[in-house]
Amino acid sequence: MKHLAIIGLSVFSIHCAIPVELEFDSNFAEKVVIFAEFEPDSLWTVNLGRNVIYTDSINWNEYIITEATVTISADSEIKESLIHVGQGIFQSPHGSRPVPETQYTITVNTPALPEVSASSKIPAIQADFVKIQELSSDATMRSFRIHIRIVDQIGQDNYSLQIHHLEPICHNDRGIPPFMNRGETTIWRSVSFNSDFPEIRDNVPDINDPSSAQTGAVGGSYGEGFFTDRSFEGQSKMIELTIDVPHYDVLPPYIQVSITNWSHELWSYIEYQSVVDLFGPSYFEENPKFIYSNIQGGLGIFGGKNQEHLRFDHEGASWDLNEFQIGFELVQPCDSQ
């Protein structure tokens, strides 16, 4: 048995509504939805909710789960029981954090829904900054060549690489924009890059597509590229990166290269998300789209990841986050500088 739902989709260009018929399976069953990305630097934190059949209007607060028993276990022993801290978020009451290379299992029991569980771990990661060389500089831009080294472990690993630099900003009397490139406050700006490693791609699905050879800079607006260790498994890999950053009179380049090693579960989740465009014109096509989930008896994702942040300036000297005021909330008016 199936039922039909009719919704009105607003067509902004002509200001009218078009009725669209959608078919849904009448065997829909409520399930627990888990979202948890865990890493060594973060407290155990899990978001819980319930799935909902598509409608034209949803009050998401009605689908938050606030009453549940949430446990994290490892080696068949309960390591942590999480408590609800508001808005469907369950967190460690003791400030505990996951550690790498430990297989964790989450179990969630709610009063009205079936028990759900999932397992994942944080993979190990080792990456090092090797050197930086300035290639060119003018009044508006500075170019650099950077070398980093990844020491890979035995077994399949899935990586991403992202580059940011610090931009000094202040704002005028009319509000935050337009920014002025001066002042003591800084914000993160992503940087696209070129690399001598040809296997880096902008999107996870392109990694296994031989027709998707990378052309031009990697990273797009987010400055992130993805790759696996299939060509250097268990070995040390030197990667060369070239970047362009704006020339700021008040601040030399401070750069951060972040390397992430994703668990199989999170990597699969990213891959499925990359091929599903929730806002595309063909989303409601005949063949339904599926998002990867490792939740047994439910939906969502429970997966670990590990990051190494390499911070260095234009001369290769390391720097610490505490040396700078970083964040939009700290931005000061230009006339106060």
Residues of the chain with pLDDT under 50: 1-17, 336-337
- Whole-angstrom Cα distance, residue 190 to residue 193? 10
Is the domain spanning 32-122 CATH 1.10.3210? The answer is: no
Q: What is the pTM of this model?
A: 0.85
Mean pLDDT of the chain: 85
The first and second tokens of residue 125, run together, are 């990661």
Reported as a single tens digit per residue, the pLDDT across 204-255 is 988 887 677 666 677 655 678 999 999 999 999 999 999 999 999 889 999 9
Residue 292: count of CB within 10 angstroms of its CB:
15
The residue ranges of every structural domain in the chain are 32-122, 127-263+306-336
On whether the CB atoms of residues 109 and 115 are closer than 8 A, the answer is yes
- Whole-angstrom Cα distance, residue 244 to residue 223? 12
